[in-house]
Chain A
Amino acid sequence: MCGLIGLHLKNPALEPRLGELLSQMLEAMTTRGPDSAGIAVYADHPAARAGQEQDLRYSLRSEEPIDWDLLAKRIGAEAGGDVRVEPLGTDSAVFGSNAGEASFLAAVRRIAPQVSVPAFGRSMLVVKDVGAPAAICARYGIPAWRGYQGIGHTRMATESAVTTAHSHPFAPAADLALVHNGSFSNYATIRGQLARKGIRCDTDNDSEVAARLIAARMAEGADLEEGLRTVLKEMDGFFTLLVTTRTQFAVVRDSFACKPAVIAETGDYVAMASEYHALAGLPGITGARVFEPMPEEIHVWTR
């Protein structure tokens, strides 16, 4: 069992409250997933200086104490670009950089193999950790985060180990994040097919394979909906998936629809959760259109 939550804002007036609303939704899903949790938050980041508009922001995490400023200098030198540091909690940081994505990630791997990069993108940050969802939100100060869209996951592990790396969201491409409730049965086969195309998974987690498959399709030019259709076609198992890009928010369930999902839509937002009580505290929820996505229906909202 796992818990999913997500919020896609239509009304910019709610953006200052995004982190607060996501945190309360995530905490409500603790009963479905008490062992670990994670969240992806999308916000517009106006460039501090001209020329930084296309910079990527990398979510970094270190299992050991680390001098983030020193690491940033070394990565900048190695990858050939500017690297700016924003500390995040005690074990994480956000690096903004104009170095190319591949050279940045290669530089991190070479210089600091103990540092993981759970996500990167122009708009998206990801934090994830082992422990209770409320404690994780508090540790990273999520309630104060602003933004236009976010998804989260509370995990009760079934298919692989309880570690930060095995926690959701999985974010294998820029601004792409996936959270999953369920279990895939043929993920080793799909992982092998991806490996033959040169696509490597960081963990042995089944959900990561689905995220990589969608990312691979999108890298070939598919849109998010086509990527999700590929999951329906290629992947066997039980799933409710909530997947986001910089502009889109999408939900899909397998043909049996035996993992729950409920969606609430108002003029101000689209919200999704595994169970309604995670939505019950949202503003204006009593006036929302509340429905369940049908099996194999792909629902996509675009900013």
Chain B
Amino acid sequence: MDPVILSCADLSTREINAALATLPDGTPARVLEPRGRHNLAVGLSNKVRVDIEGNAGYFIGGLGQGPDVVVNGFVGWSVGENLLAGSVRVKGNASECAGASSHGGTIVIEGDASSRAGISLKGGTILVAGNVGHMSGFMAQAGVMLIGGDADDALGDSLYEAVIYVGGKIASLGSDARIEELTEADVRAVKALAELGGFDHVEPENVTRVASARGLYNFDALKDQKY
């Protein structure tokens, strides 16, 4: 099937998203000349494949529940924000807050992701081939992150039940995050995640597992009697 062509040079973001939303399942579409445009392919619930042909802006593929969005370039803040199902794949780097609050689906960053990747993750899967910036996985509640490269400072600060696997070095752990022993189940999970991301540089048996120490789970009103 020939893809539907939509160009940011001719159409507003609302026109593009409205056109994408009406496509029958299985229809491929290409969005041309994004030139850093925000909010492309947002809020789609149909099972379409959307290729964004260039560098895009904020919130790309956010709130999706079905489509597979591929960005042939880099993206700004909050790619795949609040994703529910489906996937967003970025061929380049992603700026801050990649996959923020995503509930489901898969976000793949083939390059690096900046600060706060996976902030407040609520069940989604975030796969970053390269490095992530500081405070990644901050307050992540559920879901999983695989970081092929290095993680900057304060990884997994105030983690709840999300698990973070890191292939490279960790600059520092955030408050209440801890390194845990890698089990066979973890190795199998990482192998599957690396295959899903198409990462051949991740060695599943050599990643570091980061999870919550659960020390901050309950607010202790009497702690140090400071309150």
Interface residues of A (CB under 8 A from B): 256-258, 260, 262, 275-281, 290, 292, 294-295
A260–B57 contact, CB under 8 A?
no
Q: How far is the CA of A275 from the CA of B55 in the complex (A)?
A: 11
Residues of A close to B201: CB separation below 8 A? none
Residues of B within 8 A of A257 (CB): 96, 115, 133-134
- Select B35's contact among A258, A281, A295, beta carbons within 8 Å: A281
Q: Is the CB of A260 within 8 A of B96?
A: yes
Provided the pairs A257-B115, A275-B57, A295-B134 are in contact, do residues A280 and B96 lie with their beta carbons within 8 angstroms? no
Kindly list chain B residues whose C-beta atoms are within 8 Å of the C-beta of A277: 35-38, 57
Contact A260 B74 (CB under 8 A): no
Q: Smallest CB–CB gap between B11 and chain A, Å?
A: 15
Closest to B58 in A: A275
Q: How far is the CA of A276 from the CA of B35 in the complex (A)?
A: 8
CA distance A19 to B56 in the complex (A): 25
Classify the interface of chain A: helix, strand, loop or mixed.
loop
Query: Most B CB atoms within 10 A — which of A258, A280, A290?
Result: A280
B-chain residues with CB within 8 Å of residue A262 when the two chains form the complex: 76, 95
Residues of the B chain whose Cβ atoms lie less than 8 Å from the Cβ of A281 = 35
* Number of A-B contacts defined by CB within 8 Å: 42
* Bound Cα distance from A277 to B58, whole angstroms: 10
Interface flags, B108-146, vs A, CB<8A=1, else 0:
000000110000000000000000011100000000000
Shortest C-beta distance, A277 to chain B (Å), equals 3
B105 to chain A, nearest CB (A): 24
Given A260-B77, A260-B96, A275-B58, 20 more pairs with CB closer than 8 A: A257-B96, A257-B115, A260-B95, A262-B76, A262-B95, A275-B36, A276-B57, A276-B74, A277-B37, A277-B38, A277-B57, A278-B36, A280-B36, A280-B55, A281-B35, A290-B74, A292-B114, A294-B133, A295-B115, A295-B134
In the bound assembly, the distance between CA atoms of A168 and B189 in angstroms comes to 52
Question: In this complex, what residue of A is CB-closest to B153?
Answer: A295
Q: Cα distance A294–B132 when bound, in Å?
A: 11
| Interfacial chain B residues near A256, Cβ < 8 Å | 135
12 of the cross-chain contacts (CB-CB < 8 Å) are A256-B135, A257-B134, A262-B76, A276-B36, A276-B74, A277-B57, A280-B35, A280-B36, A281-B35, A292-B95, A294-B133, A295-B134
Among A256, A275, A276, A295, find the residue whose CB has the most chain B CB atoms closer than 10 A. A276
Q: Mark B31-47, 1 if CB is under 8 A from A, else 0.
A: 00001111000000000
B134 contacts across to A, CB distance below 8 A: 257, 295
In the assembled complex, the CB of A4 is this many whole angstroms from the nearest CB of chain B, namely: 15
Report the Cα distance A53→B37, complex, angstroms: 45
A295 nearest CB neighbor, chain B only: B134
Take A260-B95, A292-B114 as given contacts and tell me if A275 and B76 are in contact as well, using a CB distance cutoff of 8 Å.
Answer: yes
What residues on B are CB-neighbors of A278 within 8 Å?
A: 36
Considering the complex, give the chain A residue whose CB is closest to the CB of B134: A295
Which of B37, B77, B115 is the most central at the interface, judged by chain A CB atoms within 10 Å of its CB? B115
